[in-house]
Chain A
């Protein structure tokens, strides 16, 4: 069974704090996607990382793909209430045309 574990499952922090969310697997992925889902909406793609060790920045969000392409992290600097949502990572197996989703991290930022 292919598994993609995310941690923590839940995180509630104060506005202005920093946080890191992790996405781990024993499988090697062709690429990895991060999505954010807000209440009442579907997930929206934030970023795709492709190369081992790759770092991508999206304003206050920094995404990193592990060197071995088995894991990834999302770091948020100075969290804002607008960052609240469910963060999902998704591993891509290009050869099998398959995408598997992690269990998600539900983030709540308190004003």
Chain B
């Protein structure tokens, strides 16, 4: 039990589908993050939310759309993805933006 729960664990979607990834934390953390992890690449930070406000967007294509309705929940809405978007998507939270991260177990996404 990591304290950060991600659903679904696995997702296969076609390029024309729309799906959403969900992340939930009840650790009382103020910051939440989406990371992309591909084979042979370092962890790529996608989005950062601090106190429900998006504070960082690292040049992520608009086909990825984050949403943070409250401090405990974070979503990543996906539409018209490309096969190269297939990866492990990790959610994380931290008490402050420089505090150690608590990661979920990720969603393994395959785009066909």
Q: A: which residues have CB within 8 A of B?
A: 4, 30-31, 33, 35, 40-45, 48, 88, 90, 92-94, 97-99, 101-104
Contact = CB atoms under 8 A, between A and B. Distances in A.
A1 B101 CA distance: 22
Nearest to B102: A45
A104 B102 CA distance: 17
B100 interface: yes
Q: Could you tell me the dominant secondary structure of chain B's interface residues?
A: loop
A61 to B, nearest CB: 16
Contact of A42 (B42, B92, B96, B97): B92
Interface string B64-108: 000000000000000000000000001010001110111111100
Given A33-B100, A97-B97, A97-B98, A42 B43 contact: no
Contacts, number: 49
Contacts of B43: 43, 88, 101
B100 A30 contact: no
A94 B43 CA distance: 19
22 contacts: A30-B98, A33-B100, A35-B101, A42-B2, A42-B4, A42-B90, A42-B104, A42-B106, A43-B43, A43-B103, A45-B100, A45-B101, A93-B98, A94-B98, A97-B50, A97-B96, A97-B97, A98-B97, A98-B98, A101-B43, A102-B42, A104-B42
Contacts of A33: 100-101
Interface of B: 2, 4, 41-43, 50, 90, 92, 96-98, 100-106
Nearest to B31: A97
A43 B101 contact: yes
A48 B98 contact: no
A100 to B, nearest CB: 8
Most buried by A among B2, B92, B96, B100: B100
